[in-house]
Structure 1
Amino acid sequence: MSNTILWLRAETKAYEERTPVTPSVAQKLIDAGFELVVERSTARVFADEDYAAAGCVLAEAGAWRKSPEQAIILGLKELDPAFGPFTRRHVHFAHVYKEQAGWQGTLEAFRQGGGTLYDLEYLVDDQGRRVAAFGYWAGFVGAATAVLAYAGQQQRKLPSLDALSAWPDRDALIVEVQEQLSQSCALPGALPSALVIGALGRCGRGACELLQACDLQVTQWDMNETAAGGPFDEVLTHHLLINCVFVGAPNPPFTTHNHLLCDQRTLSVIADVSCDPTGQFNPLPIYHSCTTMDHPVARLLESAGKAPALDLIAIDHLPSLLPRESSEDFANQLLPHLLTLNQLDTGIWRRAESVFQHHVDRLSTCSANSERYQSDEQ
């Protein structure tokens, strides 16, 4: 086959060490006949030299903007619309199809540049199932941070969780969580209970496995338990709530601010792994912005009567705290489909392009409310 140029760009989002293409996956793509250019990055969890050893051509960060027009630009997280107008074909998580903040500006940048977005979240098989996701690791890390925050509360730390940085692997994370629990919950029966909503999905399974590795009592809910709509009093009777559900249709929320004011509340920590504060169907409409790696917890309520203080964790890129394992898992899930990038008019790529075009077409109907877009190249 004629060489298809794949261009792995450097990520620009703070604390993002993950990648959709690991050196071992890069080697397999090159062996299959693709030409692979990798931008240098001091943040990426894999060394530039590992890509060079696999046969990749190295380029400077940001060079994708001057790459050959036929190059397919691979990335992980969204691009700032200021980098547009976007020409070429791009593969990454854009977070724009559910009307998240800034969605119109991003799509307008693609429309002005004539580029195409193949959103990683919308790469689905013919049954509508996603072909690659970080969900397991998001749930795993989200549950871990919830337990660490709970342990911090018991130790009277304020904030209950310090700034976060990546762990070397899942075992190191489990050990730290277990150590913090043993220090803060030494008495029999003092371990926290947890409610995981969305327990049967990839994200929920990751959360449950972390909690079970720490010998915690876990209540597992999925669609059957939430079908009637909330608010749910069971949310209040657990120490930890791990939300692993991204709701895409109107439904009564799992809890509300007034619901949380109950003086019999046991709930101390909410980890909203799905993290959709600006989404119109957010099942936890109790906060307005995400927390960050530097400031991972937000105090929602102070203690009052018998009800403890309530902290929120809502970080939108939790798997980056286990960057090596989450990247290896994701890249291996994605590989069979990357190998078909020379056939963009078929299968998952054609479906993803159709979704993109549908949402670009929506811009004309939303023009009255569209965000003003300007390129930094003007």
Structure 2
Amino acid sequence: MLGNGVVGILAESVNKWERRAPLTPSHCARLLHGGTGVSRIIVQPSTKRIHHDALYEEVGAEISQDLSQCGLILGIKQPKLEMILPDRAYAFFSHTHKAQKENMPLLDKILAERASLYDYELIVGDSGKRLLAFGKFAGRAGMIDFLRGLGQRFLSLGYSTPFLSLGSSYMYPSLAAAKAAVISVGEEIATQGLPLGICPLVFVFTGSGNVCSGAQEIFKLLPHTFVNPSNLPDLHRMDTDHSRHASKRVFQVYGCVVTAQDMVEPKDATKVFSKADYYSHPEHYNPTFHEKIAPYASVIVNCMYWEQRFPQLLSYKQMQNLTSQGCPLVGIADITCDIGGSIEFVNRPTSIDSPFFRYDPITNSYHDDMEGNGVICLAVDILPTEFAKEASQHFGNILSQFVINLASSTDITMLPAHLRRACIVHRGVLTSFYDYIPRMRSSDSEEASENSTNSVSNKRKYNILVSLSGHLFDKFLINEALDIIEAAGGSFHLVNCHVGQSAEAESFSELEVGADEKAVLNQIIDSLTAIANPTENDRFLDQDSSKISLKLGKVEENGIEKEPDLKNKSAVLIIGAGRVCQPAAEMLSSFGKPSSSQWYKTLLEDDFECLTDVEVIVGSLYLKDAEQIVEGIPNVSGIQLDVMDLVSLYKYISQVEVVISLLPPSCHVIVANACIELKKHLVTASYVDSSLSMLDDKAKHAGITILGEMGLDPGIDHMMAMKMINQAHERKGKIKSFTSYCGGLPSPEAANNPLAYKFSWNPAGAIRTGCNPATYKWSGETIHIDGDNLYDSATRLRLPELPAFALECLPNRDSLLYGDLYSITEASTIFRGTLRYEGMLI
């Protein structure tokens, strides 16, 4: 049956509110009549589907309960087990690829029937982003539903508001109609205002993905102002003052988007928040949301991913304390429906027809009405179906492109990569991507044999707790991790597993890894560290999203726990926050400290003293620039630093071992003098001018190195030149001619301005190079070019390997200096040139 070109569409049976369809009638029409290879489409009858059966018949689809003639069968949610037919291909949201216990009977049924299974959640593009998702529709529907409930709640508290006229999302015939209703509410707020007793009405949004985007899309239809989290206290003070002296109505609502940085702070007061460090080591941070954000929030719209290793947004106790302090919080819209998750007291899901419950923190009790004390909570797990028509259209627009391949394919190897990766089972056999599932099921089984290598009771001599987080399942990194452990001869036991519930969400797994030899455990740790720090050749183009975070716990040897004492620390100060700063900071943070594998290898060998931990400080005249550069880079912090403020300059240089100056060349001498006095090394990318050269003796006397010309040009060209020259001299050769061409040419399609150039450094500095005089030697003749005539001296250059490139070359400063520096005084030609595209304006 596989690949016979006949497609079936299931009648949804899991939830009475599920009215979505994987393909709409219009999609069916294009598939049937567009020469796609789809010969028939058979639709199971449904009286609740958003599109009536007759509409499918009108475009040529057949209505039948019997899908036995279909090679490919599509649904939204998983079908009942008795609906799985043998030797067919199925596509739906199966929730099986993470070995979720509740869905293993479905997987077993598919395996037993020799069927194939494609999971929509696993269809991802090269960037690692899911291609089929309903996130924005969840955010839109959830926000509208909550605004309706907010109106009802305010009424029970004695306030009439425009929100009371809103209906639930499913009550509108279309998304456009629902938005029009919200706009109408917004117009009423703008003209009639809101009662002062409920103002300022502040909506706090958590998360940054499609769900949050959809929720904010609805919110922005109201008259609104977004405020920074740090301004929330001032907003409340301002509105309190206005309530005493100004009008009796407020004509807008307020929004505030919070990120992880607003929810936690480092336990170590000397540290600054690092997103990467927080995701890797959340235990190093204390929760602050309940202190800095929640006291000023009227509504919390929760759209973020959360897992148990992270601090909660609000716990039972925190909510009780906030209530006793008079917190204005009215309700929680938990659109993620993360039950018992980041908001602890949201401990039950709600339904579309009964979307709210009321939690009373004082009595720690739950109620189904809107009356009385406490906060109202929305936690509906099937929100996108409230906009079934638009959600189905959006989904089918993408899915229909995949159906063409799936309906006609009999050989999985012939499918595009994104569809191959989405195939969990093919003809009754788990595909190689998902062969970790039985291993995880076995590890998680309470009935694991004592003789099993994965049994808790059968510990190895050396054991370590390994925590992995990231896109473990949708990018198959868990499979890679388990392969590494078993291939090395180690064992594992699944201690804990929490799976992400959205396209942006990451997952978290804790594994107890064991080995009988230190060398084996070392090898496992080395290999796990390698996949946590992928190279340029990794599978996915989006390196950051395919990367995992790795945390290694204490090593236990024969029941004795060991942990290291990291005593030795070193630091680097980078001054200047231009475009070249961030790559330098990232490189230093990744290469400067020992890898996790080195760290634990040393731990096993009981040698703790040799470890070093490098910290990077980025200083800029403007603190905002420094903070923007360092965001998300571990072990890197940003500070405000003016090099003309010598007190601050000396203070920060004294705290580090090496200074990297990325400032304009005229500033280097100030930094260099400070480094000499404090005996700290200095590195710059700029040419070594006379002011720096004069400091040579002082630097040597201080025992430090001032290393200049360590960029691309000059820098990398120096090293490449010296490598070739040294090789020639070692073979007793002589250099007759030396020419070096360098330059930061943009890719041709990006050379789209009159200069045909893109500045990666100070534009003024780049232009000033065109005023520098130049001297070089060509065929024994010394040639000097005045700065005013430099551009006129440009000569055409063509590369045989790249004949289409129209380049020209300018002589670069004094090339004769390099005759001595490179030890090539015998050369009759010594020329260093800068390349640019021919015809540039300057």
1:257 aligns with 2:266: no
User: Who is 1:104 aligned against?
Assistant: 104
Identical-residue share of aligned pairs (%) = 23
Whichever residue aligns with residue 15 of structure 1, its letter is: W
Q: Deviations along 1:263-307, whole A, 9 cap, x unmatched? A: 3422222122122327xxx33333333101221101122679xx9
TM-superposed CA distance for 1:142, in Å, is 0.8
1:232 aligns with 2:269: no
User: Who is 1:202 aligned against?
Assistant: 210
Instruction: Give the TM-score normalised by the residue count of structure 2.
Output: 0.39
What residue ranges of structure 2 are gaps of 5+ in the alignment? 159-163, 224-252, 264-274, 364-371, 425-432, 449-842
1:162–1:296 contact (8 Å) kept in structure 2? no
1:33 aligns with 2:111: no
TM-superposed CA distance for 1:51, in Å, is 1.2
Tell me how far apart the structure 2 counterparts of residues 98 and 256 of structure 1 sit (CA, whole Å). 28
Q: Which range is displaced more, 106-115 or 314-323?
A: 106-115
User: Who is 1:348 aligned against?
Assistant: 418
Name the SS of the counterpart of 1:7 in structure 2.
strand
Q: How does 1:1-378 map to 2 (within 5 A)?
A: 3-12=4-13, 13-30=15-32, 31=34, 32-34=36-38, 35-60=40-65, 63-64=66-67, 67-68=68-69, 71-81=71-81, 88-98=88-98, 102-156=102-156, 165-177=170-182, 182=188, 186-187=194-195, 190=199, 192-198=201-207, 200-215=208-223, 216-222=253-259, 225=262, 227=275, 228=278, 230=287, 232-233=289-290, 234-247=293-306, 250-261=309-320, 262=322, 263-264=324-325, 265-277=327-339, 282-301=341-360, 309-341=374-406, 342-343=408-409, 344-345=412-413, 346=415, 347-354=417-424, 357-360=435-438, 362-368=440-446
Tell me how far apart the structure 1 counterparts of residues 294 and 179 of structure 2 sit (CA, whole Å). 25
1:238–1:267 contact (8 Å) kept in structure 2? yes
Residues 356 and 321 of structure 1: CA distance in aligned 2, closer, same or farther (over 3 Å) = farther
Q: Deviations along 1:224-262, whole A, 9 cap, x unmatched? A: 555456461213421111222234673222222222111
Q: Deviations along 1:62-85, whole A, 9 cap, x unmatched? A: x34xx13x6211000123446568
TM-superposed CA distance for 1:95, in Å, is 3.0
Tell me how far apart the structure 2 counterparts of residues 131 and 319 of structure 1 sit (CA, whole Å). 16
Residues 289 and 108 of structure 1: CA distance in aligned 2, closer, same or farther (over 3 Å) = farther
Tell me how far apart the structure 1 counterparts of residues 182 and 122 of structure 2 sit (CA, whole Å). 34
Whichever residue aligns with residue 332 of structure 1, its letter is: N
Residues 244 and 87 of structure 1: CA distance in aligned 2, closer, same or farther (over 3 Å) = farther
Tell me how far apart the structure 2 counterparts of residues 153 and 180 of structure 1 sit (CA, whole Å). 16
1:146–1:240 contact (8 Å) kept in structure 2? no
Residues 49 and 154 of structure 1: CA distance in aligned 2, closer, same or farther (over 3 Å) = same
1:75–1:92 contact (8 Å) kept in structure 2? yes
Tell me how far apart the structure 1 counterparts of residues 346 and 109 of structure 2 sit (CA, whole Å). 29
Tell me how far apart the structure 1 counterparts of residues 213 and 115 of structure 2 sit (CA, whole Å). 36
TM-superposed CA distance for 1:321, in Å, is 1.1
Tell me how far apart the structure 2 counterparts of residues 172 and 178 of structure 1 sit (CA, whole Å). 10
Residues 25 and 238 of structure 1: CA distance in aligned 2, closer, same or farther (over 3 Å) = same
Residues 51 and 82 of structure 1: CA distance in aligned 2, closer, same or farther (over 3 Å) = closer
Residues 290 and 213 of structure 1: CA distance in aligned 2, closer, same or farther (over 3 Å) = same
Whichever residue aligns with residue 422 of structure 2, its letter is: A
Q: Which range is displaced more, 226-235 or 145-154?
A: 226-235
What residue ranges of structure 1 are gaps of 5+ in the alignment? 371-378
Tell me how far apart the structure 2 counterparts of residues 243 and 20 of structure 1 sit (CA, whole Å). 28
Q: Which range is displaced more, 86-95 or 268-277?
A: 86-95
Whichever residue aligns with residue 20 of structure 1, its letter is: P
1:162–1:294 contact (8 Å) kept in structure 2? no
Q: Deviations along 1:131-168, whole A, 9 cap, x unmatched? A: 1211111101111112221111111189x999874421
1:192–1:217 contact (8 Å) kept in structure 2? yes
Output the aligned Cα RMSD: 3.3
Structure 1 stretches of 4+ moved >6 Å: 160-164
Tell me how far apart the structure 2 counterparts of residues 86 and 162 of structure 1 sit (CA, whole Å). 44
Tell me how far apart the structure 2 counterparts of residues 311 and 369 of structure 1 sit (CA, whole Å). 42
TM-superposed CA distance for 1:86, in Å, is 7.2
Tell me how far apart the structure 2 counterparts of residues 348 and 249 of structure 1 sit (CA, whole Å). 31
Tell me how far apart the structure 2 counterparts of residues 294 and 83 of structure 1 sit (CA, whole Å). 28
Q: Which range is displaced more, 33-42 or 333-342?
A: 333-342
Tell me how far apart the structure 1 counterparts of residues 444 and 85 of structure 2 sit (CA, whole Å). 19
Tell me how far apart the structure 2 counterparts of residues 299 and 369 of structure 1 sit (CA, whole Å). 41
1:15–1:293 contact (8 Å) kept in structure 2? yes
Tell me how far apart the structure 2 counterparts of residues 303 and 168 of structure 1 sit (CA, whole Å). 41
Aligned residue pairs: how many?
Answer: 357
User: Who is 1:373 aligned against?
Assistant: none
With CA pairs under 8 Å and 6+ residues apart, which has the higher RCO, 1 or 2? 1
Whichever residue aligns with residue 51 of structure 1, its letter is: Y
2:206–2:257 contact (8 Å) kept in structure 1? yes
Residues 157 and 235 of structure 1: CA distance in aligned 2, closer, same or farther (over 3 Å) = closer
TM-superposed CA distance for 1:223, in Å, is 5.5
Whichever residue aligns with residue 309 of structure 1, its letter is: G
Residues 6 and 224 of structure 1: CA distance in aligned 2, closer, same or farther (over 3 Å) = farther
Q: Which range is displaced more, 123-132 or 91-100?
A: 91-100
Name the SS of the counterpart of 2:423 in structure 1.
helix
Residues 349 and 231 of structure 1: CA distance in aligned 2, closer, same or farther (over 3 Å) = farther
Tell me how far apart the structure 2 counterparts of residues 349 and 211 of structure 1 sit (CA, whole Å). 36
Tell me how far apart the structure 2 counterparts of residues 93 and 368 of structure 1 sit (CA, whole Å). 27
1:18–1:324 contact (8 Å) kept in structure 2? yes
Name the SS of the counterpart of 1:51 in structure 2.
helix
TM-superposed CA distance for 1:101, in Å, is 6.6
Whichever residue aligns with residue 8 of structure 1, its letter is: I
Tell me how far apart the structure 2 counterparts of residues 195 and 40 of structure 1 sit (CA, whole Å). 43
Tell me how far apart the structure 1 counterparts of residues 289 and 96 of structure 2 sit (CA, whole Å). 30
Tell me how far apart the structure 1 counterparts of residues 313 and 385 of structure 2 sit (CA, whole Å). 27
Instruction: Give the TM-score normalised by the residue count of structure 1.
Output: 0.82
TM-superposed CA distance for 1:365, in Å, is 3.3
Residues 96 and 267 of structure 1: CA distance in aligned 2, closer, same or farther (over 3 Å) = farther
